Structure 1
Amino acid sequence: MASELKNLSVFSTDNLPDVSIHRFAIVVAEWNSDVTEALFNGAYQTLLHYGAKPDNIIRGNVPGSYELTLGAQWFAQRDDIDAVICLGCVIQGETKHNDYINHAVAQGLTNVSIKTGKPVIFGVLTPNDQQQALDRAGGKHGNKGDEAAMTAIKMLGLQKQVYSFQFK
């Protein structure tokens, strides 16, 4: 569903795991910082709201969205990190530069997640313009950072379910 039809900050909270025991890394792109700071604040506050401890959340900054992949890999390789949330914003420009960046980041984060077996969350906005970005970073369409944090929480819940399920 397109985010113009859905509020990114509204989601089901049924059967969430206890996140007080989990450690999260949030990797934030510095490019488009007015947007990415809002995304970070949304993700951070959502984690806290659902039980994460402030001492169990670490932030790492990278120059731009392209660098999210390597930042995510460094954090995901750590034994003391359970999930990595990656936040960025790549706004369409006059060239196809954004297409290459968005594809590389999406593929890269997927690869890191598969390689490490940990949730690595794609919280990257890919809007056509600045206003669309702001609308999705705490504006009229909610906050993609909230959604990214909730995705990390839900993936940790699924991981627990998968590894604790026993067939009878």
Structure 2
Amino acid sequence: MPDIGMMEMLVIGIVALIVVGPKDLPKMFRKLGQMTGRVRSMAKEFSNAMNDAADETGMSQMNRDLKAAAKFTNPKAMAKDMMGDVMDDIDPSKFEEGSATRAIAEKKAAAQAETRERIAAMKAERAAETSDEPEEASADATPEEPTFVADADAPEGPVKVIQPADPGPANVEPERS
């Protein structure tokens, strides 16, 4: 609906008073009100008819199904929904002493505790990496020097800088078959 302020309403009222005249102005406003009421009731009937047609054809059910399926477009929400209570705390005391179920529950509880400790350590490492404090270089770490290669065809000049590749872990033995 248009945003009509007080000044606009006053101008419309004055123009209507001049055009229609003071004698017929109340009749015109009454007719205008009745016509507005009819238009609103027709719009409501149309909306209700469309909703009824959607219910009859099953579109409402399809709409609900699509909204329910929309949660599976988010991988995080989908994983959370599928995992259910798998990641909840495991209480080994719920099971009989000496049973195989209790032994499995104890192993899982220990693994969960270890996982929580690892996550806390990773968060601490990440927080240390993102902090504004400069990290101290370790004694055995040596910065690698870039390699300079002469290249006459290079558009930026005769010398290119090639960064050394990551050598990988130092104490890895080759696999033997």
User: What TM-score does the superposition give when structure 2 sets the normalisation length?
Assistant: 0.20
Bigger fraction of residues in helix:
2
Larger Rg computed on CA atoms: 2
Higher strand share: 1
Q: Which has the higher contact order (CA 8 A, sep 6+)?
A: 1
